[in-house]
Amino acid sequence: MDDICVADLHGHPVTYRMLGEGPPLLLLHGITSSSQTWADVLPGLAERHTVIAPDLLGHGASAKPRADYSLGSFASSMRDLLLMLGHERASVVGHSLGGGIAMQFSYQFPERTERLALISSGGLGREVHLMLRAAALPGSDWVLPAVARTGLLGAGAAAGRLLARAGVHPSSDFEGIADGWATLEDPDTCRAFLHTARSIIDLGGQRVDASDKLYLAAGLPVLIVWGAHDPLIPVAHAHHAHDLLPHARLEVFEQAGHFPFRDEPERFVRVLGEFMAETQPAQVDAASVRRLHARRTAA
């Protein structure tokens, strides 16, 4: 059973779940989500690992201050959380927005990154669902909170629960997206969402693309997991990332959408567990990073 804890990071309470023993595994959720999204896989992963699943700043039960919601700031706060918990290094698993943060973490703190797992990750291509691009529309600061206050966003989550009680199980995408957007009824959460979304998305789609830096992960064990029917970020991004990182392990869940770890939790635990068991933690220092830069420049 997981313990829900609270850490004080630079004066802001950050909630996290921690359970299990073994090599540290940091799980980073997506936008509008929280650590609860990992509930189906936490027990299985904790059998062999110390699993740390925070609510990112601006999400879940963590603080929602007027603050920096950039990928770099999120990565730094995760570094600080790990150090506070006594972990110098970790394998980092990121879903959606969390994937972008995980990649940023590996770029900023390569010496602290043992492995990288990208799950339906942002930051690997321009395309993203119109629903997220709408956050960049002029006036969304006023429109989105107004819509949220009507209860329409919460009604989607309620409809999902009613269907479940009737024996009709909506997809993980429906549940995950509806539950996440329902949190935007809270004005502070809505403001944090807009700041976060606009740091990575504009009207044309994702404006933060990590593809040009993926060569820096050449010495890092990488796992890429995607749902073949992802409606938010197309599975083509997974194949593009794999082309750039041919040493990475690619797993496409053919029956899954944007939340493959919720659609097929047992398979996800097995795939991630095998990846952890079959790879060695990266040992990256300043000299090895310089060599990667030099090799890229020479090419």
Q: Provide the annotated active-site residues.
A: 96, 230, 258
What distance in Å separates the CA atoms of residue 69 and residue 7, rounded to the nearest whole number?
Answer: 18
Q: Which residues contact 79 (CB under 8 A, 6 or more apart)?
A: 105, 108, 109, 112
What distance in Å separates the CA atoms of residue 297 and residue 193, rounded to the nearest whole number?
Answer: 37
Place of tokens 């097995």: 270
Please choose, from the candidates 183, 182, 271, 180, the residue with its C-alpha nearest in 3D space to the C-alpha of residue 232. Answer: 180
Contact (Cβ atoms closer than 8 angstroms) between residue 52 and residue 76: no
What distance in Å separates the CA atoms of residue 59 and residue 57, rounded to the nearest whole number?
Answer: 5
Contact (Cβ atoms closer than 8 angstroms) between residue 21 and residue 241: no
**What are the beta bridge partners of residue 5?**
16
**What are the beta bridge partners of residue 26?**
52, 92
Q: How far is CA 208 from the centre of its chain?
A: 15
Please choose, from the candidates 105, 131, 247, the residue with its C-alpha nearest in 3D space to the C-alpha of residue 184. Answer: 131
